[in-house]
Amino acid sequence: MGLDKRVVITGVGAIASNGNNIEEFWNSLQNGVSGIGRITAFDPSEYRCQIAGEVKGFDVDEYIGKKEARGMDRFCHFAIKASDEAVAMAGISTDEIDPHRIGVLIGSGIGGLQTLEDEARKLFEKGPKRVSPMLIPKMIGDMSSGLVSIRHGFRGPNYTAVSACASGTHAIGEAWWTIKRGDADIMITGGAEAAITPVGIAGFASMRAMSTRNDDPQAASRPFDADRNGFVMAEGSGVLVLESLDSALSRGAEIIAEFIGYGATADASHITAPASDGSGAARAIEMAMNHAGISKDEVTYINAHGTSTPLNDKFETLAIKSVFGDRAYKIPVSSTKSMTGHSLGTAGAWETIVCALAAKNNVVPPTINYTTPDPDCDLDYVPNEAREVDMNVALNINLGFGGHNATGLVKKFK
C-alpha cells in the first residue's frame, strides 16, 4: 500500500448561516460577519435558548426539485448543495473518471432529527399507520453520503462517520486514509447537520450548554472570552474533494491545499465534558503531526474547536499549550464558531475548509466578540479582525460528546 501517497484538496463547498456558497462563506469569515439570529424555524419563546445560526434564503424546492426534496431530510439538502459546489469546483465528471474510484464519506452527528420529530408526532397523535414509509431512509445519518453518491454516480467507498461534534473531521480523516491506502483516488467528504429543531434546541438547552444571550444574538458566540456562557447551534454543510496528487496532476486540477495528517483519540473520562487536562486532544494533535511527519514549529495557524462553553475553551487551551509549550503563544488561534455558530457534525468540515483557504490565501479569520480576556484562555485568539499570516501548516481541532477527539492538518501546497 502506498501510504506515502500525497493527498490534496481540489474542491470545496459550503452552506451556512453566513453564506450559501463558498465565496459568501469565506468573505463573511474574513470580514467578521456573524450569521446568528433569533430562531425562525419554530416559535422559540418558551425556550431558554432562542437563537441559532440558521441557513437563510435557500430554496431547496427550486434547487433540487419539490418532489425529490420532500423525500430527504434537511441535513441531506445541505449535503447535496455543498457537494455539488465542491464537485463542480474540482471539475469531476464520471464521463472522464472511473466512478468506482470516487467515494463519499460525509459525517453527521445527529442526522434527520426533524424527520424523526415529525413522524413521532404523527405516531403519538394519529397512530402507527400514519407514519411515513420514508421515516427510516430520511432519518438515518448515512443518507447524505448515499444521496450524494446516487446524484453523481460515484461508486467507490461510501459510508458515514458519527462522532458528535468530531464527525466532520473524522469523516475527512478517514477519507484521507481511504485514498492513501489505495481504495479510491477521489473522496467527497465533510459533514452535514440540521438539528435546529424543537427537540434539538430543548435537549441542549436543558443541559445548560447553550448561550442564553437571546437579546444580542450576534454577540452570543464568544469563544475564549471571559463572558462566554454557552454555544450557539448552527446548521448547514461543508464538503471537500480530497484527491491523490497523482490524480489531480493528471487531470490538471487546481489544487487548493494539501491534507497531510489526521489524529483520532478518546478521552475516556466523561460523556459530555472534555478531559480536564486536555490530554485527549493533545494526543490527537500529536498523532496528526506524527502522521504528517512535521514538527510543532511548522504549525502556523490553529482553527480551534472553540465552542464558547466555559469548559471546552479552557481545556482546549490547555491541550494546545501542552503540545506546543511556549510556542503556543506565538501561533494565531481562532474560532470561526464565533461567526457560524456550532454545527455539530459539520463543524470539522467547515473548519477544515477554513484551514485550506487560510493556507492558500495567507489570511486567518478572527474570533469575533472577543472583548474580555480570560486568565484561563491566554493565547493569541486573533481578536475581532482577520490577520495576514505567512502560512505553512494549519491545524484543525474538533472534540465531541463521548470523549471523541479529531484533528486534521492542512498545508500550503508546494
pLDDT tens per residue across span 340-352: 999 999 999 999 9
pLDDT of residue 1: 47
Place of cell 461567526: 339
Determine whether 305 is an active site residue: yes
Determine whether 377 is an active site residue: no
Place of cell 475581532: 384
pLDDT tens per residue across span 141-198: 999 999 999 999 999 999 999 999 999 999 999 999 999 999 999 999 999 999 999 9
How many Å apart are CA 241 and CA 48, to the nearest integer? 39
Catalytic residue among 77, 152, 291, 305: 305
pLDDT of residue 273: 85
Average pLDDT along the chain: 97
pLDDT of 35 higher than 80: yes
CATH class as words, domain 7-251:
alpha beta
Domain 263-411 has CATH 3.30.360.10: no
Pairing of strands 158-159, 236-244: unpaired
pLDDT tens per residue across span 257-269: 999 999 999 999 9
pLDDT of residue 275: 86
Pairing of strands 158-159, 102-107: parallel
pLDDT of residue 68: 95
pLDDT of residue 2: 57
Determine whether 77 is an active site residue: no
pLDDT of 303 higher than 60: yes
Taking a C-beta distance cutoff of 8 angstroms, is the pair 148, 83 a contact?
yes
For the chain, the structural domain boundaries read 7-251, 263-411
pLDDT of 336 higher than 70: yes
* pLDDT confidence band for 274 (50 / 70 / 90): confident
Average pLDDT over residues 359-375: 98
Catalytic residue among 165, 291, 355, 377: 165
Catalytic residue among 152, 170, 291, 342: 342
Q: Do domains 7-251 and 263-411 have the same CATH topology?
A: yes
The strand pairing partners of 233, in sequence order, are 342
Average pLDDT over residues 130-147: 97
DSSP state of 108: -
